[in-house]
Amino acid sequence: MLKITLKKTVFSFLFTTVFQLVAFNVTAYTQNTASSGDNKARKVILLIGDGMGLAQIHAAAANAQLNLLSLPHTALVTTASNDNGITDSGAAGTAIATGVKTNNGKICITPNQQHLKSILKIAEENGLSTGLIATSDITHATPASFVANVAHRSQENEIARQFIGSGIDVFIGGGLNNFMRRADSIDYVDSLVAHGYYVATSVDELKTHQSGKLAGLLYPVHPPKMSEGRGEMLTMSTTKALQILSENKDGFFLMIEGAQIDWGGHANDIDYILAELLDFDNAVGVALKYAKENPETLVIVTSDHETGGMTLVEDILNTGKMKPHFSTIHHTASPVPLFAYGKRAELFKGLMDNTDIFHYIMSAYGFNESALNKQLHN
């Protein structure tokens, strides 16, 4: 049985966050979004630990010094979807990517079937480079929320089709079969090449690419677990994406997902959760190092929802020790943490909704929301 000791760093985060909840009211994001001149972020790195809640972070911090806990600005984020107090990754990804609530299962489409424009697409329209990385199939719900519009997250073949001609500069994950071995027999790998991408189908091929558009479809379906030998795929992909996206002097938007923290939560498997969360935190470390070397960068670390209802309960046989307990194999409605560092990181504080993340990123970039017709904001 895994034993987990309390960590001062996590208590510090909890104390800081509670203080901010008392001291600040940030529900009206428009009160805090003024940006001008050189006080704009040119580069935004958004890291999403799918299924990652406070208990999961606390457990991981008992075993390692986490990079994410060093980010100085903290918040708690509510996650309900339009039609349910407990969100799925499609609705949560859509909320973060577009600032608009939708129903569970939908990807960047409102309940009345209107298409939404993601922060990634807006960044492209403003001359920035863009990228997506995931430890899942790249057409899975969270990365899909930044590049596609579909009625249901299960339409992964259609999501793959929408990557073609999307303008995205770098995407890395699994899911080669959705591009190549399709029921309709269309080979979208050829289409990617025609659109100027170098297509890497292995980690070794990924390492060789130095410049220009990159489609890293490294596995037929999902990448393996860390415990099954995935290795440094996520940190290496993060480093490679930052190298390529930095070629654009105007800046970039990059989303990085640690997808399998969620899968460990669904399995109620603490070892799976910890291995995936520590791997995700290593990617946070790469992003944080980059931001310290490039002060025009904003780093945001958060989660789309908590999975497993994980809590840490006292072990009466070992007073002062803690052990994990799961109340469900599904998602929960628990608020999730957010950590921020760098340019305009001060925007992120107190109690937020997941839709606020989009609006604060827009403000950090200095983008004008009126051009979106308020992005159907209600």
Question: Strand 73-78 and strand 336-342: pairing?
Answer: antiparallel
**pLDDT at residue number 133:** 98
**pLDDT at residue number 317:** 53
Q: What CA–CA distance (Å, rounded) separates 291 from 282?
A: 14
pTM exceeds 0.75, yes or no? yes
**pLDDT at residue number 314:** 66
The answer to whether 239 and 290 are in contact (CB under 8 A) is no
Give me the residues paired with residue 111 across strands.
Answer: none
Distance of CA 141 to CAs 136, 264, 345, Å?
Answer: 9, 17, 26
Q: Which residues of 113-145 are buried (b: 16+ CB within 10 A; e: fewer)?
A: eeebbbbbbbbbeeebbbbbbbbbbbbbbbbbb
**pLDDT at residue number 25:** 39
Look at domain 8-278+299-376 and name its CATH class. Answer: alpha beta
| 86, burial (CB in 10 Å: exposed 0-12, middle 13-18, buried 19+) | middle
Phi, psi of 96 (to 5 degrees): -70, -40
Domain boundaries, the chain: 8-278+299-376
Q: What is the pLDDT of residues 31-41, one digit of tens each?
A: 344 334 479 99
Mean pLDDT by 10 residues, the chain (378 residues): 48 48 40 56 98 95 93 98 98 98 98 97 98 98 98 96 95 96 87 96 93 96 97 98 98 98 97 97 98 98 98 66 89 98 98 98 93 54
Q: What distance, in Å, lies between the first and last C-alpha atoms of the chain?
A: 47
